[in-house]
A and B are shown apart, each in its own frame.
Chain A
């Protein structure tokens, strides 16, 4: 038997001496007053609410029960005002630097010229889009909507796990979780001053309006979805209806003389801003994957010509790639002249022989990920994997080491969570959603994901993770 490494986890509810942290004080007292079985009843009620609302997602590769609910945990995760302010500052700083980086590499490439990042790292990256070179975007913003995944390892230590700059999802859960909590526990909101998040769709609409090309006075905005069978379709429809804009599919749009139009009951209507939830590859069969039926032929040409704005822009993937991630602290120093507020997770690049050697020798302690993977698919969590799983993964690494990175197994903080045995600590992360238009905005809070299984560190919904309402308390 190999001995698993012992890790100390930060507990967000309790202090080290066993007391309750101040921000959880009031909640904890309230919890103590609940009669037996009340939380369980409320939890069952929440599930009925979610199912009736149809807040479901599809799991790829699962034929049966194609529409599944993400487990919702009814114990909120709570932040104090001061700790949130610092987080917020760090997140905004990071997104500002990432957008500056994207503008730079698609224009003068100063960061390469100054030797901070190798040309090869950027230009030979599969997510780099040479077609974007020299194109000017409104506000010089590429990533209008970003999801920054954070984990907490100590009272004052947060790590950025990854930056999601393509089509990050989950914001509808943030909003529905809050709505459900307010419906189930109005008394909690009466005695806690919780910062609201409900205005996110209005903020998003504002950001999208600001992102139209100059000269468009009253932009027509649409949300572009791959369709009703996409795993995040609920969210696409939800955001469109909350913003009061049309939800379109590729087949509803067409391009005429480098302008984009939608088919309406009264004929064609020009579209100025597209919040697209379709990946770059599928946007335009003429420019990218020719077999795409989700896209709009000619869309990219219209975009290049400055006749339509896309959010997010094309080619943002080069900045949220797991190998580019390593350079974000450097970007903050280079573009902003600031000290990074949030830290990166120490990362080994398996493309480097020394790193690769170290990682292969320490697989049972590490987390190994594919450079371009997402959603928790295809990753190895050493401490919770069997020897056979580790051996199988080793073969995959040896096949193409440069396709992987590794990180220490992070000591994700725990939050009180309702499980079968009662309320118990479970590991969580946090995804705040950041909007970039003429300025950078985010609502106080985000989506907290929780690994429901005891001891598990994988919070992805596709891997059985759940979500929680996330509270930021007012001062």
Chain B
């Protein structure tokens, strides 16, 4: 496969996943804001989280000042073309990447991405403040549709593997960030396990990664921070947990194979093994925040490793001769 095609596929999938995650995050913030909040500045506190998680707090502050308000944050994160992490920007970039590899994806996949982009432009012109919850559902639906169409139509070759790499690397990154930020916010209530506010707050985190039902099913118990973390980090039942994501990333790298991927496969294997064999008590003894920070660094390194192994342009420097066979494809 063309190195550039691999790069476009990877980023196309990554941006769609990112759009979905942003929609999930904003949806949860919306739900949480409906709960009674009795502390001063609670609104700013609550709405700062999405900015913090996606790392675009400083752009927001430049544009709107420091105070995070429900309406402005929502629009900024959903529809602002100047925000590199907005849903709008992500879906735009997904489409641009898809356009660059139209020959490598199925026409059904292209139609979903292109249709999403056209619909987004129509929706964004007429969106009232009340329309956002419905919009977030729409974004999630389009992402689900894209994944379904992909699995239902694409040939199972390395194109699919690069799409999976993009999807699951982004998902791992996002789940880790959500857990990290939310955990900080929720930490004051750690002594209040079982309280009503606690139930809603932790519940909303679980819902944002579609893990609420899974939690009930697996633990059949009150929501506790330790178990939430265990479910989102170590469980491989949960499709959005770090462990599940790394399962997929490692499998995709093994499918892609190739000499140049040796080092990145090793890195992914190492990270996967650490999730596979860790206990949640060990994670907490290091400190969840420290653990997640390290995890995010590893995810970054994996991303760079994938780029270097498969997406860079490696010209032949040495003179080819009979005794030194080059790594030609085919």
Contact = CB atoms under 8 A, between A and B. Distances in A.
Contacts of B285: none
Interface in A256-299: 256-257, 261-270
Given A251-B4, A252-B4, A265 B258 contact: yes
B3 A252 contact: yes
Interface string A183-226: 00000000000000000000000000000000000001001000
Given A228-B96, A263-B2, A268 B315 contact: yes
Nearest to B313: A263
A269 B330 contact: yes
A366 to B, nearest CB: 42
A233 B96 CA distance: 13
A130 interface: no
B328 A267 contact: yes
Contacts, number: 95
B89 to A, nearest CB: 17
Nearest to B3: A263
* Main SS class of interface, A: mixed
B110 A54 contact: yes
A240 B103 contact: yes
Interface stretch (B111-119, B126-134, B241-249, B270-278): B111-119
Given A228-B96, A247-B103, A270 B328 contact: yes
B182 to A, nearest CB: 37
A273 to B, nearest CB: 15
What is the interface residue range for chain B against chain A?
35 or more
B197 interface: no
B46 interface: no
A320 interface: no
A241 B159 CA distance: 14
A268 B110 CA distance: 28
A52 B158 contact: no
Q: Which among A228, A264, A266 has the highest number of chain B CB atoms within 10 Å?
A: A266
A265 B256 contact: yes
Interface in B315-330: 315-316, 320, 326-330
A268 B314 contact: yes
Contacts of B110: 53-54
Contacts of B107: 53
A256 B329 contact: no
A252 B2 contact: yes
A265 B315 contact: no
Nearest to B257: A266
A223 B313 CA distance: 19
Contact of A262 (B2, B6, B100, B256): B2
Contacts of B111: 52-53
B102 interface: yes
Nearest to A268: B316
A237 B8 CA distance: 14
A249 B100 CA distance: 10
A263 B314 contact: yes
A266 B102 contact: no
Contacts of A270: 328
Contacts of B256: 265
Top 3 A-B residue pairs of the complex, sorted by shortest distance between their CB atoms: A237-B102, A241-B103, A240-B103
20 contacts: A54-B102, A220-B330, A223-B103, A234-B102, A237-B102, A237-B103, A240-B103, A247-B101, A256-B316, A263-B3, A264-B1, A264-B2, A264-B3, A265-B6, A265-B158, A265-B256, A266-B329, A267-B327, A267-B329, A269-B329
Given A252-B4, A264-B329, A265-B6, 13 more contacts: A51-B118, A53-B114, A220-B330, A241-B104, A248-B2, A263-B3, A265-B1, A265-B2, A265-B258, A266-B260, A267-B259, A267-B327, A268-B315
